[in-house]
A and B are shown apart, each in its own frame.
Chain A
């Protein structure tokens, strides 16, 4: 404001020159209003209130107090379930990765020029990725019954969606040179894939598989909540019996394993790329 006043106080030639207009504020104000409306509506819909949070906080502090110290002896009981969790993640990721390879090849527009084949596959791939993993697990539990098997299937489908998409996008950016050279010497499509596509894509693919594995370990740790095997089942058991110190052991154990696997996978991925 003060700068403006100064300008108008000094009558000079400069003030008569056309000055650039500042950007319109209207758009920003409207966007802000819409966001505020959305927030207010959401707060009403979810019955959020600070007072409830403040009255609830002591409960939560009590809960956290009861969680400490964690019961370390509970480790022995949940190690088996933890191993099962990791196993589910490994098997699910691997199966998903294997199924993702043909799907990605079908989706990549530079390798598969048949449009009526690639578009439906892409559509299905996008559809798969909209369904959250826990929801898939709940569905598979309804189909196959309780146990790690539905969890593995859910992770397989989830991995298929993620690895398939990342890989087909990487496939579309590969160098065409080797492909054309091999076509020129009369190779079959299979030979072209093995000798000119695979060498270009394998490091990326491995990196995506590792990344998906990281996500799947986290997911597998909670799949048990819907009955799909793994350590998640023990949350319900311990919380149901109000044994919060045991819950704390589970949480800490999961944190340690997940952080370790993340660290290892990140190092491997750095080496790959």
Chain B
């Protein structure tokens, strides 16, 4: 300390660590000890390595014959089914969510409570898992793609409604006020001042949700709601790894293509 060349560290003190940091760190440590101590590590099957190898070799030597079968279920039909489910469900939700979005947008209602309730409803819809919704719709309309369409269509309202509402909240008030000043009625204001401003955003979000719905639609088949998931689960349970490989390849290629296409369109839109 008495050294003439005392380093700068003695003069510039580090900022003190806040007490709340220690509390947070302690809490996190407790949570992590609880979480990691409960992981069962003895659950490995002896066949794990073998099955992994089989799936890997299945992906590299896929069952090409399955791509198109003249009669019955094949890969292309399964993927087409998945695509149809996602297109239709995205359209349904994009239409149905518009009233919810105007309900939830804080600049469209005079009382804050209106927008709050709308937001809560959208949040509850969003939280309800699509796959559980599909189970319920299967009970109503029977197993098949239609149940998947309804489930995804209803579930997507939650997210699309929220995104649409945020888009509406960002609009410029100028055109609306100008139209009010010229004596336009509410429908005219909506049509000429609000819609032109929000339409590109709406379309872009719809496409984004379409990308998500394609992913969701591939797994709906797991519970019998149509799409490529059904043959995949069947192939998995019958240990037909070559078929698992071709279906996985098909899903990956389809989703990549759709992401590219939708991304390109979205870039043009906004």
**Residues in chain A within 8 A of chain B (CB atoms):** 35, 38-39, 41-43, 45-49, 52-53, 56-57, 59-60, 63, 83-84, 86-87, 90-91, 94, 126-127, 130-132, 134-135, 138-139, 141-145, 147-149, 152, 218, 221-222, 225-226, 235, 239, 251, 254-255, 258-259, 262
B195 at the interface (CB under 8 A from A): no
Q: Between A and B, how many residue pairs show CB distances below 8 Å? A: 159
Q: 1/0 per residue B231-254: CB within 8 Å of A?
A: 011001001000010001001100
A47, B150: Cα distance in complex, Å: 12
A132 and B129 form a contact (CB under 8 A): no
A234, B161: Cα distance in complex, Å: 30
Across the A-B interface, the 4 shortest Cβ-Cβ residue pairs: A60-B140, A46-B145, A42-B84, A45-B84
B43 and A48 form a contact (CB under 8 A): no
Task: Give B145 Cβ to nearest chain A Cβ, in Å.
Answer: 4
B111 at the interface (CB under 8 A from A): no
If the complex has contacts A91-B35, A94-B32, A143-B52, are A132 and B216 also in contact, measured as CB distance less than 8 A? yes
| Interface of B: prevailing SS | helix
B52 and A46 form a contact (CB under 8 A): no
B51 and A47 form a contact (CB under 8 A): no
Contact partner, A259, options B127, B216, B236, B256, Cβ 8 Å = B127
B163 at the interface (CB under 8 A from A): no
If the complex has contacts A138-B236, A144-B44, are A91 and B131 also in contact, measured as CB distance less than 8 A? no
B51 and A46 form a contact (CB under 8 A): no
A43 and B88 form a contact (CB under 8 A): yes
A105, B25: Cα distance in complex, Å: 26
B264 at the interface (CB under 8 A from A): no
A46 and B88 form a contact (CB under 8 A): yes
Residues of A close to B216: CB separation below 8 A = 132
Task: Give B39 Cβ to nearest chain A Cβ, in Å.
Answer: 6
A221, B129: Cα distance in complex, Å: 8
Contact partner, B88, options A48, A132, A225, Cβ 8 Å = A48
Q: Which residue of A lies closest to B38 (CB)?
A: A87
A152, B150: Cα distance in complex, Å: 30
Residues of B close to A255: CB separation below 8 A = 124, 127-128
Contact partner, A63, options B81, B131, B140, B142, Cβ 8 Å = B140
A135 and B87 form a contact (CB under 8 A): no
Q: Which residue of B lies closest to A251 (CB)?
A: B132
Of B96-104, B170-178, B182-190, B219-227, the one touching chain A? B219-227
Task: Give B178 Cβ to nearest chain A Cβ, in Å.
Answer: 18
B252 and A131 form a contact (CB under 8 A): yes
Contact partner, A47, options B39, B146, B255, Cβ 8 Å = B146
If the complex has contacts A91-B36, A132-B215, A225-B223, are A38 and B87 also in contact, measured as CB distance less than 8 A? yes
A45 and B145 form a contact (CB under 8 A): yes
B80 at the interface (CB under 8 A from A): yes
A135, B235: Cα distance in complex, Å: 13
Task: Give A160 Cβ to nearest chain B Cβ, in Å.
Answer: 16
Task: Give A6 Cβ to nearest chain B Cβ, in Å.
Answer: 18
Contact partner, B131, options A57, A94, A134, A147, Cβ 8 Å = A134
B119-136 with Cβ < 8 A to chain A: 123-124, 127-129, 131-132, 135-136
Contact partner, B236, options A130, A132, A142, A239, Cβ 8 Å = A142
Task: Give A24 Cβ to nearest chain B Cβ, in Å.
Answer: 16
Task: Give A126 Cβ to nearest chain B Cβ, in Å.
Answer: 7
Residues of B close to A134: CB separation below 8 A = 131, 219, 222
A52, B150: Cα distance in complex, Å: 12
Task: Give A144 Cβ to nearest chain B Cβ, in Å.
Answer: 5
B38 and A84 form a contact (CB under 8 A): yes
Q: List 29 A-B contacts (CB under 8 A).
A: A38-B87, A43-B88, A45-B80, A45-B81, A45-B145, A46-B84, A53-B141, A53-B146, A57-B140, A59-B141, A63-B139, A63-B140, A87-B38, A87-B39, A131-B252, A134-B131, A139-B244, A143-B45, A143-B55, A144-B43, A144-B48, A218-B129, A222-B129, A225-B223, A226-B222, A235-B132, A239-B135, A258-B127, A259-B123
